[in-house]
Structures are given as C-alpha cells and as structure tokens.
Amino acid sequence: MSRTFIIVALAVLVCAGFGLRAYRLSAEGLSEDELNKLHAVEDYRERGLTSTNGEHPMLMKALLTGSVVFAERWNRTNLAQSSTAWRIDQETALRLPATLFGAFTSLLIFLVVCELFGPLTGLIAAALWAVDPAAIGFNRIAKEDTFLLFFFLLANIFWLRGQRAAESGEARPERYYWATAAAFGAMMASKYMPHFLSISVAYYYIFQGIPATRWRLGKQKWLIFFAVMGAAFLVCNPTILLPGTWHEMRIFASEQRIGHDGYEFMGQLFRNQATLWLNGSPWYFYYAFMAFKLPLAIVAAFLVGLPLLFRKQLGDGRYFVLFWMFFWFFPFTFMGGKFLRYFTMGLPIVLIVAAIGIHFIVRWLTETVARLAENAALKSYAQLSVALAFIALSAVASLSYAPFYRLYTNELGGGRERAGSYFPHDEFYDGSVRDTAATIARIARPHARVASETPGLLVHYAQLAGRHDLVSVSLSDQTALRDFTAGDLIVVARGRRYFSNDELVRALESVSQPVAQLLTGDVPATQLYVLDEASHRMIAAQVK
C-alpha cells in the first residue's frame, strides 16, 4: 500500500466525514445542554474568564467562543448579507468545532491503529468512523466528549510513537513523551475524565517486566511528564484557578445539578444517577445501543473481531485495545447515570475491533481466492470489494437518516418504525424545541403560560420569534401548574418523560388532543396541547 494512496484516502475520508457531519448542521435547534454552552460563551465575551458552566473545563467553550465570534463577523460580510444561504446560523456556529474535530478524528484513529495493527486495518477503522451514523451524530452536538476523544487519540499517537522510537534506539524519544503529556493535558481540559490515562499507563507497564524492553521512562521522566501535562492543562483551562469553578464542580459532583428524576430507556423509566450504580439505568444500556443503533454489518464484524483480540497472532497492539475496552466498559456498565454521548469514547473501540474483523474476513477471502485462481488482480479486487462493502453499508445507513443521524435504528431494532423509541432523550436531544417555540409564538394568546421540560430553552427560541410576553415554566413544577387556565399550553416532548410528569402527561393524553405535532425528520417528536376546560380541570385535579 503506497504512501500516496494512504494520504489520498485519508484526505477523502476527512473531507467525506466533515461533509456528512456539517450537512444541515442547524437542521435541529439547540438542546438544553448546548444552550448552557451558549450562555457560557456570552458570559466569556461580556465578562472575560468566569466560572459559568464551571463544572466542565474551558477548552471546548473557548473554541465555541471563537466559532461564534467568527460566525458573527462572517455574517456581516457583503457575501453573507447578499443571501441567507451564506449566513452561519447560531446552531451551526456552536456545533462547528465539534464537527471539525470529529472529522479529523478519522485521521487520528488511522494513526493509532496503524501503529497497533498496520495501515490496512487503520484505513478501515478510519473509514468506519468517517461514515458511521452514531459517530456523526455524536460529533454534531456541542458537548465535550468529541474533544475528549480527539485529544486522547492524539496523546496515544505520540505515546505509541515514543514506544517505537525507544525500542528502535531512535534518538530522543522524550519528545514524544512530552507531546503525549501535553495532549493529555488538553484532554483533561476537555472533560474531567482522568481515569482514561490508565489505558496508556497500563499498556506501558505490561512491557516493563520484559528484560529486553527499552521503553522505560524512569522516575525523573515521569515527574517531567506530569509537570508538562499540568502546564498544558492550566494553559487550556485557566478557569480552574477561579474559586467559583471549584464551587460549581463541587455542586456537580454532589449530583445537585441533576435537573430531572429519570431517563426513558426502551419505553421504561429509570433513575439516572451515577451513584445509584446497578439501581440506576440498566447495565445493558450501552450494549443495547450497540445491538440496535449500529449498522448490522458493523455489529457482525465486531463479533468476528472480538475473539481475535485473544490470539497472539494479532500482536501486542491488542493489549492497548483490551485496556481501552476494560477502562471504558467496566465503569460505564455499572455506573447508574448513563447518556449515549458518553459512548463517544467507547465507539472507536467497537469500530477498531470491527476493522480487525473485516481485515480477517478480507485475508480469509484472499486465501480462498488464491486457492481457486492464481490471479493477483482478482485477489486485490476481492480485498477491496469486501472492505468497501462494509464501509458502504455504514455510509448508506447514515445517508438514509441524514441529517437526523441520531435516529438511525438498524433492522434488529425495528428500523425506521422504531426510530426514537430506545433512547429518546439522546435521539431527539431537544432538536424540535425551536420549531415548537415558533409554533407557540404563532398561536399562543398574549402572556400565555407554557409548561415544558425545557423552559429556559423554550424562552430562548420564543424570544427569538418575538414573543417576550410568554411565561415559561417546568412541566414538573406542580406549584406553577396551579396557575394555569384554559388557553395555556403544555409541551409534551419525546425524551422528556420523567417520573415527575408521567402521570400528568398520561392523564392529559386521555382527555385532550394535541393542536400540533412537531417532527424530527419524519419521526414524531413533540405534541403541543392548548388547554380547554376539560383538560384544565384535569390538570387542576392532578396538581391540587
């Protein structure tokens, strides 16, 4: 495989991955989480560095700030003002950094996997990430997980290069160690997940008992390593020095930031707190995601590749993947609080193992073809066809749901008919609130009250639609609901079902019909109710 071919292939994958991720990036409105990021950006611009949204590190918010400022300046140019098609929407500006980092993650996956298993497996893994519907969906939201993964991979590219340099006797492998440390500092400044350092450290230590190993840092280099990492962390996350940031982190760690009392998973409600462990969201949460939300061809390839990790023929690189699997799946399986976006760090493991499985299938097919016909061109064609078939199936899956990639559900999960029914909170992710607010702005009476589970987000979009008079309250706030009268509005959004509102919503649906139904793509996402006398009496009876 020539160097030129690899470079061209990677360029195509990055461009294709970016195109899929950037396509109609503002097709869905902001989520409640993303609105919090927007508020942090606004606060930074108005007051400088602050502890706003301080439970999360600063690096991503700094990138979002730069993107929003760029978008505003671009929108003032003559080209942007000549046509709305050239304008950058607020949603696009906020999500663009994650989209870019997500697209370039394909390149990093190739470099890591190439070090571990060779260029062919690396290219397959990179291609799978570029076109996978789940990967694209994760990279289209303004959350920290995309950046966490990016800098984790970047750090391990340098780490593995450092191993190769040390073992080959190359001069100054230390430069790779310090680059690794700096990237880990940026990783920690993306999301506070220090235990992922254990993956690289564990991989390092399995070689230390081998006398011939030359990859040894020693105490002094480890001290320098952590000093470089700490310095990079402070440069990327200076708000950690603010007392208010520590206050926000303490509140978050004590689970006082949990705004809702449940998570709907496969039609059932579960408590969703990390410290509930097995009494929270089910242990099989992410395994169900793998079974129902990934293309079946990738699931099959993963099942082929998984046992290969336990074969010596795969080489020592398998230990890195095994440690990655352990340090992701073990804690996140048993942790009681789960969201799909956390799987951003777990998905590359699945795709890498699937790439190993595809490579195995390709080799097996090549050997079969070789026995049947001594034709080098035929063997190459067979190899390429098999690899491209798996990649194409993922690409078709993504394109069939674009731009609402998070709704993708495979045939085992029931396909499009069951889209949005397994993980509705993460599949819809408040994407219809913008359209809901626009509908309310048209039909609501002056000073109407509106109950939803995203009151702040609804106010944001209602004000953009010119309705500053609306009173937005939480659907779970029974005290606020006591003031409702006929003519007020109730928003019932999929993914926002909780223990605190379930009984009330069921009662409302039994006595009233929605005046509007909002869709995400072609999937029902939100129902809007205007209270009449009968439904008002029912609400009053529920909250008295």
Neighbours of 128 (CB within 10 A): 30
Angle at 334 between CA 328 and CA 338, to 5 degrees: 75
Dihedral sign from CA coordinates of 296, 301, 304, 307: negative
According to DSSP, the β-strands at 263-265 and 449-452 are unpaired
Confidence (pLDDT) at 86 = 95
Q: Which residues of the chain have pLDDT under 50?
A: none
Number of H helices, E strands in the chain: 23, 7
Task: Name 528's bridge partners.
Answer: 491, 516
Amino acid of residue 8: V
Q: Which amino acid is at 67?
A: S
Residue 114: which H helix or E strand, with range?
Answer: helix 90-117
Q: How far apart are CA 419 and CA 293, in angstroms?
A: 9
CA-wise closest residue to 433 among 383, 496, 370, 507: 496
Angle (CA) 39-42-46 rounded to 5° is 140
Task: Give the C-alpha distances (Å, rounded to integers) separating 169 from 180, 215, 216, 291.
Answer: 19, 10, 12, 45
| DSSP-assigned beta bridge partners for residue 324 | none
Q: What integer pLDDT is reported at residue 63 of this predicted model?
A: 98
Q: What does the alpha-carbon distance between residue 421 and residue 477 come to, in Å, rounded to a whole number?
A: 26
Which residues lie closer than 8 Å to 45 by C-beta, 6 or more apart?
A: 65, 69
Residue 385 in tokens: 């066809």
State how far the Cα of 227 lies from the Cα of 219, in Å rounded to an integer. 12
SS3 track for 183-199: HHHHHHCCCCCHHHHHH
Collapsing DSSP states into helix, strand and coil, what is residue 526? strand
Integer angstrom CA distances of residue 246 from 44, 50, 57, 164, 251: 17, 12, 11, 40, 9
3-class secondary structure per residue, 424-452: HHHHHCCCCHHHHHHHHHHHCCCCCEEEE
Q: How many residues are there in the chain?
A: 544
CB burial class (10 A; 0-12, 13-18, 19+) of residue 480?
A: middle
Sheet of strand 516-520: strand arrangement: 471-474, 449-452, 489-493, 523-530, 516-520
| Strand locations in 255-298 (E) | 263-265, 268-270
Cα–Cα distance between 421 and 413 in angstroms, integer?
9
Strands 471-474 and 449-452 come out as parallel
Which pTM does this prediction carry? 0.96
Whole-angstrom distance, CA of residue 145 vs CA of residue 177: 24
> Which two tokens mark 378?
């035929």
CA distances from 425 to 6, 236, 363, 476, 531 (A): 39, 31, 41, 16, 25
